[in-house]
Amino acid sequence: CPFYKKIPGTKFAIDAFHYGEIQGIAAYFLTHFHSDHYGGLTKKSTLPIYCNRITGNLVKSKLRVAEQYVHVLPMNTRVTVEGIEVVLLEANHCPGAAMLLFFLPDGQTVLHTGDFRADPSMETCPELLGCRVQTLYLDTTYCSPEYAFPTQQEVINFAANTAFELVTLNPRTLVVCGSYSVGKEKVFLALAEVLGSKVCLSRDKYNTMCCLESEQVRQSITTDWKAARVHVLPMMHLSFKKLQDYLARFSARYDQLVAFKPTGWTFSQQPQISGSISIYGIPYSEHSSFLEMKRFVQWLRPLKIIPTVNNGS
């Protein structure tokens, strides 16, 4: 198990399920439900997992891990795990994503961001305001100055306005949004809202969404493809060939398709167009831009930073 997945002075490992039982570890924290973090967890897992409620719902529902091994912790509340105080904080990454703030017995304070998108609102967090963080385990996904991209809200507004214009010009337009397992919900919910439509999802994706315990989500989703103008498809289905075939299935109702691909930091105001299919790559990021990361670190002023991404050894 890599050193940056363990918290020194504790029996804690973070997002470390690929290594079986780790010597000296008594509590296995899961920051959020993305496969590069829960990888190694299966329904046979008997490790004691600590996470918040949404992530716990997903672990039990999607991976079928037995309830007895999933220890659900509240958000924004000091709790004691294995004799050490910990607080879970909103990571602004995907539903259920949490940062972990540890208060060690020797007076050290450690913050593990998990995957996060730093936001100025974090600077008003009472738990972070009230302490000095010595060690920061930092999500360094986009830790280079060329990674500059808009806020999520700017990207959502662009997608919603674009969809609204295209549907107004041609009411026979089907709107598609690409998605991975958990994340990007804000994009397709905004598309549905601006178009006065529901969002249609596969049965599996629908079950995933029900784990998020959001009334807004619950009321916006359906599995009836004919009952919604906004369809959510797996990201790898967003190719011209696949979308052409997809549009043909709904030819009675639609003759044009616009797809939004919310990934990382690709951006073109101009879509790729082939026949009646338009694909927009939009820079909807669930990780900090370089400047957002820099601002957060300058505000927090930790004594030591340990990168958790692209970390060799």
Q: What is the pLDDT of residues 201-241, one digit of tens each?
A: 999 999 999 999 989 899 999 999 999 999 999 999 999 99
Q: What is the pLDDT of residues 22-43, one digit of tens each?
A: 999 999 999 999 999 999 999 9
**What local confidence, expressed as pLDDT, does residue 261 receive?**
94
Answer yes or no: is pLDDT of 312 > 70: no
| Beta-carbon count within 10 A of 304 CB | 10
Contact at 8 Å (CB) between 231 and 176? yes
Of 11, 21, 10, 81, nearest to 47 (Cα)? Answer: 21
Q: What is the pLDDT of residues 278-302, one digit of tens each?
A: 999 999 999 999 999 999 999 999 9
Distance in angstroms (rounded) separating the CA atoms of residues 157 and 153: 6
pTM as predicted: 0.92
Secondary structure (3-state) at 94: coil
Alpha carbon separation from 57 to 37, 211, 241 (Å, rounded): 16, 6, 36
Domains detected in the chain: 3-145+288-307 (3.60.15.10), 152-282 (3.40.50.12650)
